[in-house]
Amino acid sequence: MTTAQDYLRAYETPRFAQLAPNLNAACFSLMKLIPARFMVDQAEASGRLRQEGHIIETTSGTFGLAIAMLATARGYALTLVTASSLIDLKLRRRLEQLGAKVMAIDDPQGDGNQRGRLEYLQQSLQDHPDTYWPRQYDNPENRLAYARLADLVVRSFGRIDCVVGCVGTGGSLCGTGGFLRELFPDLRMIAVDTHRSMLFGQPVGRRMLRGLGNSVLPDNVRHEMIDDIHWVGALPAYAMAHGLFRDHGLFMGPTSGAAALVGAWFARQNPEASTVVIMPDEGHRHSDTVYNPDWLAGLKGWPISIPLEPTVLTRIRPAEETAWTRFPWNRRTLNAVLAGADGLSPTQ
Amino acid sequence: MTQTSTLRSGQQTHSRKINTETVAWPLVVGVGRAHAHHGEFLQGVFERENGRLCRGLVTLPLTSQESLATFWPDQQAGIRSRPANRTKAARAAALTLEHVGLAGRGGELTIESSIPVGHGYGSSTADVIASIRAVAASAGVTLRQSTVARLAVAAESASDAIAYGDQPILFAHREGRTIEHFGGEFPPLLLVGFRDGSARPIDTLSMPRARYDGEEIGLFRVLRGLANRAIRQQDPRLLGRVATISASISQRHLPKASFNTVLDIARAHGACGVQVAHSGTLIGILLDATAPRAAMRAAELARQVSSAGLQGVHTFTLNAETRLIQ
């Protein structure tokens, strides 16, 4: 193992922060290093990725950053396919500094043009069949990688009753929760999403809170594992992120704020339960926005105080960016819930 | 360490004059012991520090039964074992002589063991380790535990963690090295052990190695973490959970017919969990030794297991200060 690889293994290790006596947070600098490293390791071991080979992935977020760090350290070429509307200049510069080729596909509709990105990616794979495509959305290794987090959690806290985490690909929550539930079958899994993400049955629309949610449905989202779903708007997420920094010295990204909001609420409701909340990345990327008072002042509805509890929905529907809603999912499939919403399927 | 240095000088003399036989033997009659085990708390595939996967296990020590080896050095080369079929023990003795710099010396190795063969009690490893210790004692050397473990694996290709006594460790049984030292001691347990009725004695080394899938390998990682926590916190319930899940995975590879019945009995008695011998027929139900009426409950549990038709039922302790009711 080279020193760079060793370093990246340490980099993917979270620090644990106690937010309340029964609530601990796994605070990552860059959580996506966990699945990225696991998938690259597996691809190397199986021969899918050869020495000095080529990796391609469609991403506009931190998975791209993680895989770019690995690719550079291990000598692979990397192409990241994103949409012109999604990639921010600062991230793009960082990726290019790491030697990644960033392909920003035109996105006239501003919806991320997932179809156009996949077409480009498929074409590249056809032209260069040796290229390795990690497929973080659908590759089960994304979930399996989180045995590492589940290991660290039980080493530190033993018995766990509830895990709270954001859902984008489903890898971190369904992976970590899946392993923890093998140990503790009564474990509650609480998913955190945002309004107008389609993952848990909302109609797709413009989303202000990025880094969680999705406009397509990855295979790694395992609905039947989820007990409760919360949709957190951008503003409560920002307010909670500020709270984490102020009260705990945790300078985290806004999705961590959303997860902490839900985790803290659950922990207050269930003082006997031991709860872990997953916080995926730090706040530095958001210092010009989420942590910038001038930028915040332009937001409709800002300032907002940290809400104490969500609005319970009886029917899944989108809400304002100032809102926080919750729906009891009860470990059902997406189809069962959607059918139930139309009165076609009895609730459990 | 004066013993070692004495030996070193003896060694040099010895290696110079081995054919003239003029040197005084540094060897005396040596005795070594090693206890049995009752299968494993955990067995699977684990990541080593270098990132590579290797097979490993956490042995459940059974100190009430042991193998006693005596090494009688003589003027002939080679190891003659009694009983004569203990070839692995003889090989271990020869390797140990070599290790202490006395290759070419020989003697008689007698093994007296109370450990039943072929059920997963580790009878073979106990013989091997007792023999290594007997030869080391004969040469006046106290071997490191890691050396004993390595010699044992060299002698019989797979071993268990008995070289480490009752220390809680995750042991790479085909490489003879420690993957993780859990530190301290096992939490206090009472165990009701027995044999799965369906199974016959097993030749451990002729068994095909279990092939684990990605989910199982991930789960082993988490179980290792929980074992670490259970031992650090002296929590028998968490350790019982590790054992039960590991045993459930073992069911996919070496099924035990009575396993589900045993799980039901364990649950009904509020036990901490169920463990098995992953290459044997043994099953054990784990009870918290510090719980009220623990000995009484173990006795009740043993009666129920017997009446369910399971064989060889006995109760034993691990790191517990409890007086058993047999």
Q: Mind listing the domains of chain A with CATH numbers? A: 3-31+140-338 (3.40.50.1100), 50-127 (3.40.50.1100)
pLDDT of residue B13: 34
pLDDT of residue A89: 87
> 3-state class of A4 per DSSP?
helix
CA distances from B32 to A128, B69, B136, B162 (A): 64, 5, 8, 13
User: Both B78 and B6 in a single domain?
Assistant: yes
B296-305 contacts, C-beta under 8 A, 24 or more apart: B296/B325, B297/B190, B297/B269, B297/B270, B298/B190, B298/B191, B298/B192, B298/B324, B298/B325, B299/B324, B299/B325, B299/B326, B300/B269, B301/B192, B301/B265, B301/B269, B301/B271, B302/B192, B304/B265, B304/B269, B305/B192, B305/B194, B305/B262, B305/B265
Does residue B141 belong to any structural domain of this protein? yes
pLDDT of residue B26: 74
- Quickly state the pLDDT bin for B254 (edges 50, 70, 90): confident
Q: Which residues does chain B have within 8 Å of residue A39's beta carbon, measured at their own beta carbons?
A: none
- Is B229 in contact with A154 (Cβ distance < 8 A)? yes
pLDDT at B206 over 70: no
pLDDT of residue B172: 95
Does residue B313 belong to any structural domain of this protein? yes
pLDDT of residue B323: 86
Look at strands A54-58 and A77-83 and give their pairing.
parallel
Shortest alpha-carbon distance between residue A116 and chain B (Å):
33
Place of tokens 């509830």: A162
Inter-chain contacts counted by CB atoms under 8 A, chains A and B: 57
Beta strands in chain A (DSSP E): 15-20, 23-27, 54-58, 77-83, 101-105, 162-166, 188-193, 228-232, 275-279, 311-312, 324-328
A194 closest CA partner among A137, A244, A254, A250: A254
> Which residues of chain A carry a pLDDT beneath 50?
343-348
User: Both B145 and B222 in a single domain?
Assistant: no
- Quickly state the pLDDT bin for B4 (edges 50, 70, 90): very low
- Mutation target to probe the A interface, by most A beta carbons within 10 A, among B42, B216, B226, B235 is B226
Domain residues for B218? 185-318
What is the average pLDDT across B128-152?
96
Q: Is residue B152 a contact partner of residue B130, using CB atoms and an 8 Å limit?
A: no
CATH of the domain at B212: 3.30.70.890
Question: Is the model more confident about B104 or about B230?
Answer: B230
B43 closest CA partner among B229, B170, B194, B177: B170
User: Both B176 and B194 in a single domain?
Assistant: no
- Quickly state the pLDDT bin for B202 (edges 50, 70, 90): low
CA distances from B292 to A213, B264, B270, B288 (A): 50, 21, 12, 9
Q: Which residues does chain A have within 8 Å of residue B219's beta carbon, measured at their own beta carbons?
A: 147, 179, 182
Chain A residues with at least one Cβ partner in B under 8 Å: 1, 5, 9, 41, 140-141, 144, 146-148, 150-159, 179-180, 182-183
User: Both B197 and B171 in a single domain?
Assistant: no
User: Both B225 and B162 in a single domain?
Assistant: no
CATH of the domain at B43: 3.30.230.10
ipTM of this complex: 0.93
CA distances from B76 to A155, B82, B89, B106 (A): 54, 16, 18, 6
pLDDT of residue B118: 82
Beta strands in B114-225 (DSSP E): 169-172, 177-181, 189-195
Asked if the C-beta of B235 comes within 8 angstroms of chain A's C-beta atoms, the answer is yes
Q: Please state, in angstroms and rounded to a whole number, the distance separating the CA atoms of residues B112 and A26.
A: 54
Q: Please state, in angstroms and rounded to a whole number, the distance separating the CA atoms of residues B143 and B137.
A: 9
User: Both B257 and B284 in a single domain?
Assistant: yes
Q: Which residues does chain A have within 8 Å of residue B218's beta carbon, measured at their own beta carbons?
A: 144, 146-147, 150, 179
Number of domains in chain B: 2
pLDDT at B235 over 80: yes
Q: Is residue A212 a contact partner of residue A222, using CB atoms and an 8 Å limit?
A: no
Q: Last residue of a domain, which of B151, B180, B209?
A: B180
Q: Which of A5, A144, A155 shows the shortest C-beta gap to B218?
A: A144
pLDDT of residue A53: 95
Place of tokens 């085990």: B37
pLDDT at B5 over 50: no
Place of tokens 């007990």: A227
User: Both B262 and B303 in a single domain?
Assistant: yes
Q: Please measure the distance between the N-terminal and C-terminal CA atoms of chain B and give it in whole angstroms.
A: 44
Q: Last residue of a domain, which of B180, B202, B237?
A: B180
Q: Last residue of a domain, which of B155, B180, B205?
A: B180
- Is A41 in contact with B222 (Cβ distance < 8 A)? no
User: Both B169 and B204 in a single domain?
Assistant: no
Q: Please state, in angstroms and rounded to a whole number, the distance separating the CA atoms of residues B140 and B243.
A: 39
User: Both B167 and B195 in a single domain?
Assistant: no
User: Both B57 and B140 in a single domain?
Assistant: yes
Does residue B208 belong to any structural domain of this protein? yes
Q: Which residues does chain A have within 8 Å of residue B238's beta carbon, measured at their own beta carbons?
A: 158-159
Q: Which residues does chain A have within 8 Å of residue B170's beta carbon, measured at their own beta carbons?
A: none
Chain B: residue nearest A159 by CA? B238
User: Both B47 and B195 in a single domain?
Assistant: no
pLDDT of residue A222: 98
